Amino acid sequence: MADIGMAAFSVFFVQSPSFLAHQRQLCARGGHGRSNCETLFGMGSIPSDNHIRDMLDFVEPASLDELFDEALAAVERAGALSPLTGLDGRLLIALDGTEYFCSNKLSCPHCSTRQRANGVIEHFHTMLAASIVAPGHNRALPLPPEFVRPQDGHDKQDCESRAARRWLLAHGERYKRFDPVYLGDDLYSRQPVCEAVLASGGHFLFVCKPDSHKTLYEYLTGVEIASLSKGVKRGKQRATHAWRWMNAIPIRDGDDALIVNWLELTISNAKGEITYRNSFVSDLPIDASNVEALANAGRARWKIENETFNVLKTKGYNLEHNFGHGKRNLSSTLATLNLGNCSRPFGHAGIGRGFAARVNRMASRARRERRRAVSTTERMSA
Ligand SMILES: [Zn+2]
């Protein structure tokens, strides 16, 4: 059987914008009379893109989850994980959703749908990505993703918040040993997600906007709030960083409201104009000794948007363009493979082979199942 997994992964590996161009490049003879596909990826023959598409469509994206952990373990073994920690040796895990597919023509059973004002129905896919980030680092190490998609037994459309809670339930236990702090935008700083984080054994540090947390901000008015500020000089620019914080306030209205700790960072320039302001809630106690580190950690979240999602969006659309949307899992599997490729900058070259082996096993199982289904149909019609 042709090496489907490696053929698919090699597309991500070389980050080819076009599968056809990639195939030609692979077929080109290298220096020793061997094709690039033989020397680079150890492939004997190149399967057609149709064949790859059909096989990958059978692969459940969750079956690739372990490979993210293998990549993480390799980074840990290489001693490259500790520079990525923050807040007293904890891992910062940023959760964020991104829409990586949208069409009013193509769809699959895992598509979410919405109706536009002009009546057009759009089909789309959103991925919840989890990545290890660190202040001062411009790379994010991906962990297994979760997909926003219609769930069995639920009438309601799935959403990012529910996907985040599924992610925590599925993976939180495994990452508990890193004493993780989960980062997320204002969508996450609601009681159900915060409780899910605590139940998984982690901590949270989520953006908390005044508009969406009216009760919490009422507690901040008319009282004295602890604060700290310092002048920061970067090149010729002078700025003032000011922090404010308050511990033990309710995240929402009601007797069962979760009690959280709040902090805010305001940056103003030499003229006194505010250039940045953001606030966060956390379960971690805040004081003058850690407020700056907490604010820096909270701000590290933007990396997942800039690093991971740029790759997913630009490369992801290319991949959909080349492989199509599939009838089962193709769209999500391609997105997962693409995300898996983001761990390459950490020097873990083995992830490609791991993905390939996994995809090959899945593909052969799919072939067996399909054969069995065909023979049952034949028996029944005989
Ligand atoms: Zn779909």
pLDDT in tens, 46-103: 666 677 777 778 778 888 888 888 888 888 888 888 888 889 899 999 999 888 888 8
pLDDT computed for residue 56 by the predictor: 77
- What confidence category does residue 218 fall into, taking pLDDT thresholds of 50, 70 and 90? very high
31-44 pLDDT, tens digit per residue, is 555 565 555 555 55
d(CA 113, ligand 1 centre) in Å: 9
Contacts of residue 111, Cβ cutoff 8 Å, sequence gap at least 6: 101, 123, 124, 125, 149, 331
- Rounded to 5 degrees, what angle do the CA atoms 243, 248, 301 make? 50
**φ and ψ of 34, to 5 deg:** -110, 145
- pLDDT: is 147 or 335 the higher one? 147
Host H or E run for residue 126: strand 121-133
- Which one, of 149, 139, 53, 79, lies nearest residue 107 by Cα? 149
Contacts of residue 43, Cβ cutoff 8 Å, sequence gap at least 6: 2, 3, 6, 7, 10, 26, 37
Q: Where are the beta strands (DSSP E) in 159-236?
A: 181-184, 203-207, 226-234
120-134 pLDDT, tens digit per residue, is 999 999 999 998 988
Neighbours of 245 (CB within 10 A): 24
- pLDDT: is 137 or 298 the higher one? 298
Query: Strand 85-86 and strand 90-103: pairing?
Result: antiparallel
d(CA 179, ligand 1 centre) in Å: 35
d(CA 308, ligand 1 centre) in Å: 21
d(CA 49, ligand 1 centre) in Å: 19
d(CA 125, ligand 1 centre) in Å: 6
d(CA 8, ligand 1 centre) in Å: 19
CB 1 within 8 A of CB 364: yes
Residue given tokens 């028996």 in the structure block: 379
**φ and ψ of 231, to 5 deg:** -85, 140
d(CA 331, ligand 1 centre) in Å: 6
d(CA 69, CA 335): 17
pTM recorded for the entire structure: 0.84
- The amino acid at residue 50 is N
- Which one, of 4, 141, 104, 101, lies nearest residue 59 by Cα? 4
